Amino acid sequence: MTESFDVVVIGGGVIGMTGAWRLAQTGRRVLLLERDRTGAEASSAAAGMLGAQLEVSEPGPFYQLCLESRSLYQAFVDELLEYTGVDAQLNHNGIYQIAFTQDEVHALHRRMEWQIRGGARAEFLSSTEVTNEEPIVAENYGALHLPDDSNINAPLLTRALSIAVTQTCTVVEGVEVTAVQRQSAAGYVISTQSQTYVAGAVVVAAGAWAQRLLPSSFPGKIQPVKGQLLAIRPRQATLKHTIFNDHAYLVPKRDGTIVVGATEDRGAGYNRDVTVDAIQYLLASVKRIAPRLCDAVFERSWIGLRPGSSDPHPWIGQLAASPGLHVAVGHFRNGILLAPVTANMLVDSVEGRPWPTHWQAFQPERPSVESGVTR
Ligand SMILES: Cc1cc2nc3c(=O)[nH]c(=O)nc-3n(C[C@H](O)[C@H](O)[C@H](O)COP(=O)(O)OP(=O)(O)OC[C@H]3O[C@@H](n4cnc5c(N)ncnc54)[C@H](O)[C@@H]3O)c2cc1C
């Protein structure tokens, strides 16, 4: 029998689950379809940095979107805690972007200047100030301190969201959506291997696998970008702040571990191996950034497949050529950060409300926007 819903959300990562939860809160009947278990993929693998100021290299709509989402986070995790009993462990520890060369100092000063001009908090610390705050960090040329960038525990966030969607939506795990077809002006038929559903609106939030579900007219190309991470447990001295340098980062978690990330491999496709090269790179980064962590205990390593795309920005909203078909894809390195604002955008998109100007830069049929993403 074909079941009918107001909205079908495809993909139970942080983007699909937050969107489904918010849509259900509007009173809609929402079905969430997940191929594996909810939260099984990139969302629970993430380092969990909320790096709104860290991740962006120039002002513009993407920076605004990142700041907006970060500003929603405390209320988001508080609401999840109240609703589900699971604390996603938001850690307001700030980020130190460390300079080990004079060139890095200049680049960090440029970032600090435009961010302060835009009203954000940022300060450049001398190497002595860094060492006073973080005695185990290697000798350096100072650091850009971003006190309002924070981090959460990504596996706990996905656990909380899994409970929230189970209580508010119909959730079916272990089913792969194989096709989304327009049935009539009234809606879509969504097919899995064993069942069909109909819905007035569909949200494709299938992470690195989304391309297969998008119409050929979709303007971007979604592809996996493999990332490898590991976790260590310091024996004694640890870090207070997240420390970032040249794509490597050390993120202290409230459970006492430090997450070390991350590699970025665009050529690995859907490969899930943890490799010697990657572990060696990550451990060398620990030694380079905080050599006194070399006696830390190695806890585990893992991979995640980021939803990368031909454009560094996500694609969010309704496809103009397919009324009722909405996307939330291509969040790449920032899907955890951007989940709360993406969910708000999806609700307004499904309800047909006009969007503020800075959101419009992320509509699928947008003109090409300048990158603005930190490389
Ligand atoms: C190493 C690494 C570090 C990261 N660090 C950070 C960070 O510090 N901060 C940050 O903000 N972001 C970070 N990210 C990025 C973040 O994890 C992603 O942007 C985010 O998780 C994307 O969420 P998603 O819901 O789009 O994708 P996913 O979590 O991958 O979820 C997509 C879901 O769709 C399901 N699915 C796919 N196809 C189908 C189908 N046909 N039918 C049904 N279900 C389907 C999948 O099984 C999956 O569960 C990191 C990612 C990685 C890999």
pLDDT at position 106 over 80: yes
Confidence of residue 369 (pLDDT cuts 50, 70, 90): very low
Q: Return the percent helix, strand and coil in the chain, to nearest 5.
A: 35, 30, 40
- Looking at the fold, whether 47 and 178 belong to one and the same domain comes out as yes
For ligand 1, atom 12: residue with the closest CA: 334
For ligand 1, atom 3: residue with the closest CA: 46
Return the CATH number at 47: 3.50.50.60
- pLDDT at position 272 is 98
Overall average pLDDT of the 110-116 stretch: 97
Task: Evaluate whether residue 262 is within a structural domain.
Answer: yes
Q: Under DSSP, is residue 130 helix (H, G, I), strand (E, B) or coil?
A: helix
Domain final residue, candidates 309, 327, 352: 309
For ligand 1, mutation pick of 43, 181, 191, 282 (most atoms within 8 Å of CB):
43
Q: Cα separation of 101 and 347, whole Å?
A: 45
Ligand 1 environment, Cβ below 6 A: 10-16, 33-36, 40-43, 45-49, 176-177, 205-209, 213, 227, 229, 261-262, 304, 306-307, 331-337
User: Which residues, listed in sequence order, are joined to residue 9 by a DSSP beta bridge?
Assistant: 32, 203
For residue 302, the CA-to-ligand 1 centroid distance in Å is: 14
Residue 295 neighbours by CB under 8 Å, 6+ apart? 235
- Report pLDDT digits (tens) over 212-234: 999 998 999 999 999 999 999 99
For residue 205, the CA-to-ligand 1 centroid distance in Å is: 9
Domain final residue, candidates 249, 283, 309: 309
Range of the domain at 232: 92-148+223-309
For ligand 1, mutation pick of 38, 334, 346 (most atoms within 8 Å of CB):
334
Write the DSSP symbol of residue 91: B
- pLDDT at position 367 is 67
Q: 162-200 b/e with 16+ CB inside 10 Å = b? A: bbbbeebbbbeeeebbeebeeeeeebbbbbbeeeebbbb
Nearest atom, ligand 1, residue 43 CA:
21
- Looking at the fold, whether 144 and 74 belong to one and the same domain comes out as no
Q: What's the structural domain count of the chain?
A: 2
Return the CATH number at 247: 3.30.9.10
Task: Evaluate whether residue 370 is within a structural domain.
Answer: no
Task: Evaluate whether residue 343 is within a structural domain.
Answer: yes
- Looking at the fold, whether 127 and 231 belong to one and the same domain comes out as yes
Q: Compute CA 70 distance to the chain's CA centroid, rounded to the nearest angstrom.
A: 11
Task: Evaluate whether residue 368 is within a structural domain.
Answer: no
- Report pLDDT digits (tens) over 72-85: 999 999 999 999 99
- Looking at the fold, whether 291 and 229 belong to one and the same domain comes out as yes
Arithmetic mean of pLDDT over the chain? 95
- pLDDT at position 365 is 86
For ligand 1, mutation pick of 336, 337, 341, 374 (most atoms within 8 Å of CB):
336
Burial of 266 (0-12, 13-18, 19+ CB in 10 A): exposed
pLDDT at position 368 over 60: no
pLDDT at position 373 over 60: no
- Looking at the fold, whether 208 and 299 belong to one and the same domain comes out as no
Task: Evaluate whether residue 215 is within a structural domain.
Answer: yes
- Looking at the fold, whether 61 and 134 belong to one and the same domain comes out as no
Task: Evaluate whether residue 371 is within a structural domain.
Answer: no
More confident of the two residues 371 and 179: 179
For residue 50, which of 254, 337, 338 has the smallest C-alpha distance?
A: 337
Q: Under DSSP, is residue 156 helix (H, G, I), strand (E, B) or coil?
A: helix
Residue 99 neighbours by CB under 8 Å, 6+ apart? 105, 108, 140, 141, 142, 143, 144, 245
Amino acid residing at 15: I
Count of residues for the chain? 375
- Looking at the fold, whether 64 and 54 belong to one and the same domain comes out as yes
Amino acid residing at 312: P
- Report pLDDT digits (tens) over 330-366: 999 999 999 999 999 999 999 999 999 999 999 998 8
- pLDDT at position 371 is 43
- pLDDT at position 374 is 42
- pLDDT at position 372 is 47
Task: Evaluate whether residue 375 is within a structural domain.
Answer: no
- Looking at the fold, whether 159 and 305 belong to one and the same domain comes out as no
- Looking at the fold, whether 303 and 317 belong to one and the same domain comes out as no
Confidence of residue 247 (pLDDT cuts 50, 70, 90): confident
- Looking at the fold, whether 297 and 227 belong to one and the same domain comes out as yes
Confidence of residue 375 (pLDDT cuts 50, 70, 90): very low
Contact 333, 324 (CB under 8 A): no
pLDDT at position 196 over 60: yes
- Looking at the fold, whether 326 and 229 belong to one and the same domain comes out as no
Strand positions, DSSP E, the chain: 3-10, 30-34, 49-50, 95-98, 123-125, 143-146, 150-151, 170-173, 177-184, 187-192, 196-204, 222-233, 242-245, 248-252, 258-261, 297-309, 315-318, 325-329
Task: Evaluate whether residue 181 is within a structural domain.
Answer: yes
Amino acid residing at 181: Q
- Looking at the fold, whether 115 and 39 belong to one and the same domain comes out as no
Q: Cα separation of 45 and 304, whole Å?
A: 5
More confident of the two residues 374 and 285: 285
